[in-house]
Every structure is written in structure tokens, then in C-alpha cells.
Amino acid sequence: MASCNMSVKKNTTLAALFPFPSLYEGIPANNVEKIVRNITKEKTVVSKDFRTCIDRAVEAARSSCFDDKLHPIRYAASILFEDGSIHTEIQRKTLEYGSTMDAVSALIPIIERKKPVRPTHGVHVDQYGILHAPFASARAHLAERASNDEMMYLIHVLKAPAKALTDTKCPRVLDVATVKIEALVPDYPRWNGKKEKRSETKKMRARMSCGCP
């Protein structure tokens, strides 16, 4: 990777660029349900805040049963704000699947409207209760704004090779990671307004050294 004027260059790996890929990567959509049923998830102790978000999002995902013929996986997201309010949205599918509005992106306008109240916890789930990282466009919107820096996401990660998902004799293949937004993306520029820039820390300002405007 390099800045637009080539003054800053960085060598990285695909794993570093996308540290939390979908657990369903490479699995045909019509096989996902069968595979998920084979997964034995350990009972994970999470905070009350995360549990509330998960329960709200899973309920929304399971209720959004339309458009399953377009794609059988239903996604939903919940975000908890520091004032205690929780907002939930579902994915809205389109026949041209790349134009689908993902659930986390659907919550971005709410985050903007509620400023200066900040988001603190977020989850992105499917109808089976699997916790996913936000998709690309949502990650960018969240990461490029300093006001979201303390937001935490809960994500399921593999404890074993991906082939273990299809192995009924391999239990406990999933673990749960709690990560900040900045862990979901590589180094990135900031596109904040002047007011937010003035409040950024030295570490935040360092991210803007890529040469972008």
C-alpha cells in the first residue's frame, strides 16, 4: 500500500488487511445451515451490554424472513450508545447482491444523528447467532471517524482450520473476540471535520500521515 504521493509505503498481508473474514467463506449458501448445526459453540460469558445487543439483533435477523430466495443468510445489527439506548437494523437484500444494504451501514445515519452521544458496543449477527465483523463499507464509515474509536465489536473466530466447520467430530471450533473498530481495518486516513480533528489524539493524527487530503 502507498499514499497518493508515494511518500508513505507499507508492506502488509491479506490476513492483516482483512483479519476477521466471514466464517462462511467458500461455503455454498445452501450448505450453511447444515454446517452451522454441526458447530458446537462453547457457552461464552459476555457482558450484559453485549448480551442485550446480541438478543435484539438475533431476534431481528430471525424475523426478517423475506427475500430468503435471494440469499438464505439473514443479517442484523445492534448498537448500544453511551446513553443506554440500543438501535437495531436488518440487512436489506437486492437481486444484484452487491447493492444490498448491510445492517451495520443502515445504522450509520443513527450514529451521526446522535452525536455527540457515542456508540460503545456493536454486534453483527445472522439468524443462527453467528457473530460477524461489519462488512467493508460499514467498517470504513465507522473507522474513519474518531468518535467511534472506543466502540467494541464481538466477533466469532475460528479456533481450528476452516475445514473443521464440516467435521462433526471436531467440537468447539469457534471462539469469541472482542475488538475495537481500528482492529477491523488496516491503516486509514481520517475524513473528519475540523471540530473532530482538533479533538483527536496524537495516535489518531498519525493515521492521517498517508498523504491524503
pLDDT at 94: 80
Alpha-carbon gap, residue 55 to 140, rounded angstroms: 25
For residues 184 and 134, is the Cβ–Cβ distance under 8 A? yes
Q: Is the pLDDT of residue 105 over 60?
A: yes
Residue 30 — φ and ψ, nearest 5°?
Answer: -75, -5
User: Cell numbers at residue 136, please?
Assistant: 467493508
CB atoms within 10 A of CB 7: 10
Express the helix, strand and coil content of the chain in percent, nearest 5 each.
35, 20, 45
pLDDT at 178: 92
Q: Is the pLDDT of residue 207 over 60?
A: no
List pLDDT tens digits, range 172-197: 677 888 999 888 876 655 555 444 44
List pLDDT tens digits, range 10-32: 777 777 667 788 888 777 777 77
Q: Which of 59, 81, 212, 193 is nearest to 148 (CA)?
A: 81
Question: Residue 210 — pLDDT band, cuts 50, 70, 90?
Answer: very low
Alpha-carbon gap, residue 76 to 124, rounded angstroms: 6
Q: Domain 20-184 in CATH: superfamily?
A: Cytidine Deaminase, domain 2 (3.40.140.10)
pLDDT at 199: 44
CA dihedral 10, 15, 19, 24 (to 10 degrees): 150
Q: Is the pLDDT of residue 95 over 50?
A: yes
Specify the length of the chain in residues.
213
Number of helices (H), then strands (E), in the chain: 7, 5
List pLDDT tens digits, range 109-135: 999 999 999 999 999 999 988 999 999
List pLDDT tens digits, range 52-84: 999 999 999 999 877 777 778 899 999 999 999
- Distances in Å between the Cα of 98 and the Cα atoms of 69, 70, 164 are 15, 12, 29
